[in-house]
């Protein structure tokens, strides 16, 4: 009779992606290029924040935006119309960007002439949180109309970012949104999270965020 055997594996599911992500990070670090991975729900204001951030940074920061979408060029076109540089990657039905996609993009760019890459990830709070893109920093946007309960629903996203931008604070008066409650919930998951409250529409609160990013790039 054949015997049933137990084979110990103990391997992380995304280990291949982790290796590629580490390679992406090291290539970019060598060329002095900072990669920011920006994640949020659809409509939270990723494209608006990117456009505001680019105009807030000095012209000395040579930036390029990597737009990731399942399909369409809408966001990349918006960025280019605003006078910034953008490339579009299509994830082909994938709900997130992985390190392999970024590696391909990095190879197609002259990264020695880029100081900052901003990746606009696919609009989704679940999958992107689990996949290392090779970014130096993960940031997320939560917009006020989405509600202060999102850390309870998408805890991993709040765990995997070092900075949270709370966008659309101009809606605070209209919404049942408790900023202190949100912060408590976020810091419970991630005590080191930096939180910036701003409005891309009115421009309020943008400067501290841009300042943080400017310093972070230099590290």
Contacts with other proteins by CB under 8 A lie at 2-17, 94-96, 98, 124, 126-127, 130-131, 152, 155-156, 159, 184-185, 188-189, 191
CB nearer other proteins, residue 55 or residue 130? 130
CB nearer other proteins, residue 24 or residue 117? 24
Least distance to other proteins from the beta carbon of 183, Å?
12
- Distance CA(77)–CA(46), nearest Å, equals 14
Least distance to other proteins from the beta carbon of 62, Å?
33
Least distance to other proteins from the beta carbon of 35, Å?
21
Q: Estimate to the nearest angstrom the gap between the alpha carbon of 55 and the chain centroid.
A: 18
Q: Residue 168: phi, psi to the nearest 5?
A: 65, 45
Least distance to other proteins from the beta carbon of 214, Å?
29
Residue 119 pairs with which residues in a beta bridge?
A: 37, 66
CB nearer other proteins, residue 30 or residue 188? 188
CB nearer other proteins, residue 189 or residue 195? 189
CB nearer other proteins, residue 12 or residue 176? 12
CB nearer other proteins, residue 117 or residue 146? 146
Sheet holding 116-120, edge to edge: 85-90, 63-69, 116-120, 34-40, 137-143, 163-167, 194-197
Least distance to other proteins from the beta carbon of 10, Å?
6
Within 13 A of 67's CA, how many CA atoms are on the CB side?
A: 21
Tally Cβ neighbours within 10 Å of residue 104.
10
Q: Residue 108: phi, psi to the nearest 5?
A: -90, -5
Cα dihedral sign, 122-129-181-210: negative
**Which secondary structure element, helix H or strand E, spans residue 30, and what is its range?**
helix 15-30
Least distance to other proteins from the beta carbon of 130, Å?
7
């Amino acid at each position: 009779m054949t015997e049933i055997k137990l084979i110990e594996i103990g391997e992380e599911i995304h280990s291949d992606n982790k290796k590629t992500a580490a390679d992406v990070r090291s290539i970019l670090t060598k060329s002095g290029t900072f990669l920011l991975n920006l994640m949020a729900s659809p409509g939270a204001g990723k494209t608006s924040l990117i456009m505001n951030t680019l105009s807030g940074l000095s012209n000395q920061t040579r930036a390029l935006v990597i737009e990731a979408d399942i399909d369409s060029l809408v966001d990349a076109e918006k960025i280019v119309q605003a006078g910034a540089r953008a490339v579009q990657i299509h994830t082909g039905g994938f709900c997130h960007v992985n390190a392999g996609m970024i590696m391909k993009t990095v190879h197609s760019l002259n990264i020695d002439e880029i100081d900052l890459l901003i990746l606009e990830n696919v609009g989704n709070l679940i999958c992107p949180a689990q996949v290392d893109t090779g970014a130096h920093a993960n940031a997320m946007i939560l917009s006020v109309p989405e509600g202060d309960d999102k850390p309870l629903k998408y805890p991993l996203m709040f765990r995997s970012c070092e900075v949270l931008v709370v966008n659309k604070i101009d809606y605070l008066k209209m919404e049942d949104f408790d900023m202190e409650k949100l912060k408590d919930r976020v810091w419970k998951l991630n005590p080191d999270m930096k939180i910036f409250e701003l409005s891309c529409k009115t421009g309020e609160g943008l400067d501290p965020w841009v300042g943080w990013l400017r310093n972070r790039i230099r590290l």
